[in-house]
Chain A
């Protein structure tokens, strides 16, 4: 038996072991999702979405050693491609398959691949700071790009999405949370206005104004031009990691980290009347919107986790690590360092784009405010805290990013801190933790735990 034969056998067995494991994981999470209160399904959806993006970040930052701030922007690529391709899915069959979210997800992944390839070719072969700077520019520039091409990209208002509810039905409202009871779908449809961009004015349409304008040196006034109905960002906080504050109160956009999310739409007339229609009577699948969103996010995350695990444990993962640790030595054994770095960037872009498409469906909205620099930074924070060279670390990071603001704001509420302080405590904690982890425990939670475990068993630390 040749060595190659043996290797292929091992990699086959890896697939054989991993696939059922992920199917079991998916089934478990799906079961959990149905059993949960819709509010927790919403959190589950967010965690799965962040985990998808962070798996890509682990490959990029941890395994390939490239710090990128652009994955939030690549999520925007995924979200916008999804939004633009799905706007008319209900009429057009595509290669025999009904045009639905699945196709748009595929297109989002392709979009992420193309954009990731371009950015990767430009930046991945350069020294670390160049890539970080380039991707930071893209992350900060996303709102500017959306503003520059308002006809195509919807400007600062973005697009509202109608999510492909199960069975192809429509339920375009960001559904209700446990507090406000049930909303009347028709009224909401009317109130929200399904057509993109027609939501000028009114308290329900407080679409976040991207903060990029304010840094604009030359003419601050021009940008605002027509969009005067859009409130200025009353940013009570640095808004680094959460969207809450940018959106200033009554936002039609569900916010990723606040529990009573969709209920903030309560300003909409008719949103609270007639708690009659049951959560999902229209659809007949037994899933409420949040649960459907979570099932989508979980499925995507499981697929991403399966792909990532096989890549990381396989040849490709070895190549990434080899180039990260010593490009010259890697080149000597026949690995092309440039191509390997670019490949890591492309893989992580595809993951980010998929996560972005899921995010768009969770928010039922795409817009520059949702995909700002804060999103990119939160991805970085999550991955570093969880453990930058571990896929499990990505999942832990996702839980932290979703959970920590809730815990902290709960604590701050109990202590009666003023909003201005309380809103910024999570960000402050993230920043301090980021620095502390880099200084004291570069492996993050998972890396440190592994180190501890290895020391206890008297083995050398795995890298």
Chain B
């Protein structure tokens, strides 16, 4: 009996309006609706979420860890790019 493996989907959930969706794991599912349901059942059992995104894993382009130095190191020594001298007032909430 041959079995076509089901595609893998990456799951992102948002816990509050205004916050970004965060990656929380992956599910196997045959198609997008089933992936959404699987994500709801597997990753939102404890009230973690008000919104779910599922993306086929093979559509994600990821940076190569070997390129870490060339992509990310230059920014480490440029404090003038960081907005650390401005305090966001509490009333603004999640930005």
Partners in one complex: no
